[in-house]
Structure 1
């Protein structure tokens, strides 16, 4: 099986190498394609740098890994799309995105480039997984190897799931993770943006911890309790529960 490894933190992120290493240990054929620069918060954007409709990529090497790797002038959503259309040497069987520096939890995953790459794989009928490490605003030392341990446990489960399944995995940044739990999405997320100042022509945003109470069973609550969380996701879908009779038009 062939795996695309991508992220939104960029080609030089240690989390990318951790994810690629776990995929290799699982026996997957690995190709790495990640943004040349930081692309956090880009959701499933298919934007690319440049104005001529062509996407630039550069061959790179990852320390300690003998894999095909590319630094791409594009957001992770577009990288995933390109891969799923055979742009990096054949359509992958699985898209693995991460390991992200910081949790991607709650409905705020809508904004995550890490999750966006996985959901783009799902939309293109490729099984996918986003993996994030809960490193908070106070920036403690990231325990990348702990995230790798969790990936090695969850990856076989992912590969046994129905085609085009997609998982979001979050790992607490602690040495003694208590275990794995399926989790609901919290209402928003752990960190939120706040408008701090607004001047003529400029708005200042700051990131703060959410002040809402943690709801038991949600990803934010379980992470706070020391569990790694697994959430199965669906991408864009029709919501029939909101549908009502439409007005007659034209009359």
Structure 2
């Protein structure tokens, strides 16, 4: 069976990661799980690894389902790159990342470690899907992971028809699978739904000064047909991302 490398940016013990691994196995894939040892949210395409005594620490982990699982002191894109540079005895055929609690939308996907993982796979010629559960800024007590994993077989079938190295981003509303409307293809919104405002705090004698991030969500200004607008209307969305590349003949300088 083809091999799926399953990773995330929330850490090896995140329940969304475990749900995605089970979904990949149910879809007919061999599964190996390799994820950051801790939280690496916001890592984007970082290939940072914490080097101790000349190496990045890898620890075997036990996770539900009994899949081979490893926690690394590294960011998601580092883990995917390592898989393509000799770490694993068998190269993966597919990269699956998530399931991220909270949507990844708009141009802000640049900052997502979940997205960074599948983009790193694309640079290695592996197609991949980054999955996110649209559940607001906090993980609910009972997230609807099956709403995501139930879409996996159909998505994988369609992804197989695309060129090797194709990365997709999929956002799914946090509702029971039976209540999901059809998947819609969506283009990225100019900006994501998550809004961050930085506030400078002066030192007050008890703590040093610094920056505090105030995070909110806003779905009200999205253009029709974008991932933000379609999610707000209740649709799960799929967006094909563009791997890093170049455009010729646009600078006005001779080649």
Normalised TM-score (structure 1): 0.92
**Alpha-carbon distance change, 197 to 210 in structure 1, aligned in 2, over 3 angstroms:** farther
State the alpha-carbon separation in 1 of the partners of residues 152 and 202 from structure 2: 45
Q: What residue number does 1:29 align with?
A: 30
Q: How does 1:147-158 map to 2 (within 5 A)?
A: 147-158=148-159
Indicate if the aligned counterparts of 1:77 and 1:120 stay in contact, CA closer than 8 A: yes
Pairwise CA distance, 1:133: 0.5
Aligned equivalent of 2:183, options 152, 176, 180: 180
1:103 has 2:103 as partner: yes
List alignment gaps of at least 5 residues for structure 1: 247-251
State the alpha-carbon separation in 2 of the partners of residues 13 and 51 from structure 1: 24
Pairwise CA distance, 1:121: 0.3
Pairwise CA distance, 1:111: 0.1
State the alpha-carbon separation in 2 of the partners of residues 86 and 159 from structure 1: 25
Aligned equivalent of 2:252, options 232, 244, 249: 244
Q: How does 1:90-129 map to 2 (within 5 A)?
A: 90-129=90-129
Aligned equivalent of 1:227, options 235, 240, 247: 235
Q: What residue number does 1:249 align with?
A: none
Pairwise CA distance, 1:138: 5.1
SS of equivalent to 1:62:
coil
**Alpha-carbon distance change, 96 to 4 in structure 1, aligned in 2, over 3 angstroms:** same
**Alpha-carbon distance change, 138 to 112 in structure 1, aligned in 2, over 3 angstroms:** closer
Larger mean Cα displacement after TM superposition, 197-206 or 1-10: 197-206
SS of equivalent to 1:39:
coil
SS of equivalent to 1:194:
strand
Pairwise CA distance, 1:212: 5.4
Residues 35-69 of structure 1 show CA distances to partners (whole Å, capped at 9, x for unaligned) of 11010000010101234441111111112x13111
State the alpha-carbon separation in 1 of the partners of residues 18 and 156 from structure 2: 16
Pairwise CA distance, 1:99: 0.7
Q: How does 1:194-233 map to 2 (within 5 A)?
A: 194-199=197-202, 202-210=210-218, 213-233=221-241
Q: How many residues are aligned here?
A: 245
Indicate if the aligned counterparts of 1:150 and 1:171 stay in contact, CA closer than 8 A: no
Aligned equivalent of 1:192, options 190, 195, 198: 195
Pairwise CA distance, 1:114: 0.2
Q: What residue number does 2:66 align with?
A: 66
1:78 has 2:81 as partner: no
**Alpha-carbon distance change, 181 to 241 in structure 1, aligned in 2, over 3 angstroms:** farther
Q: What residue number does 2:171 align with?
A: 170
List alignment gaps of at least 5 residues for structure 2: 204-208
